[in-house]
A and B are shown apart, each in its own frame.
Chain A
Amino acid sequence: MSTPAAGSNPARITSEVVAKVAKLASLKLSEDEITLMTSQLSGMLDHFADIDKLDLENVVPLAQPFPLKNVFREDVIVKGLDRDEVLAAAPAAEDGRFRVPPSSGLGEQ
């Protein structure tokens, strides 16, 4: 099902990679959507390849487009949300907690 996008370097991205990323992001894509995304993502990667060709030896990598750093708040407690109000908005709650279906996701901790 590998379908290199027309006009792009076929090595940039395959439909398998697109399908895998979609699965990791819990997106259900049809075959047609995968084909379309593969083509569009290949176009984007072509653009990055163009940037790669530039001489960027003396350019500092940009972590963030804003000219800001060290934005902090002080360690002071501010009243948050009311539990009953929040749980009333949830699909299900029990015992002061959110009740959720058993996850098939991949957990940490």
Chain B
Amino acid sequence: MLVSASTSQIAEVRDFVGHHAEAYGFSAEDVHDIKLAVDEAYTNVIKHAYKFDDTKKVQVKILTGEKEFTISLSDEGVAFDPSAYTEPNVAERIMLRKRGGVGVYLIHKLMDHVEYRNEGTHNEILMSKKR
């Protein structure tokens, strides 16, 4: 599916992915985890790649193999640099009254494999879960 980079579309993206994850045979708990991981990745694209420009688009794709379910999110915005990522200290962030900054951490906790690809202006995050 191709969707606008808008928070108004988050529920639609979650439902789209959740529907496919259910059909693939995941448990209700796994479906929830997959929907949450995709929500976090999609929200990061809106905030960080496109900086809330809702005229931009995000491509959401489902790739299914025999043992693995993968969701791909593609954008043409500012690339995420995984090498600059460090695990967040939630207690410290609360002390500093900083919200968020924990989405990437959640994605890695919820999924079995996460990969980032960048080719020119094209960015892609691939999130996989085994069944």
Q: Do A and B come from one complex?
A: no
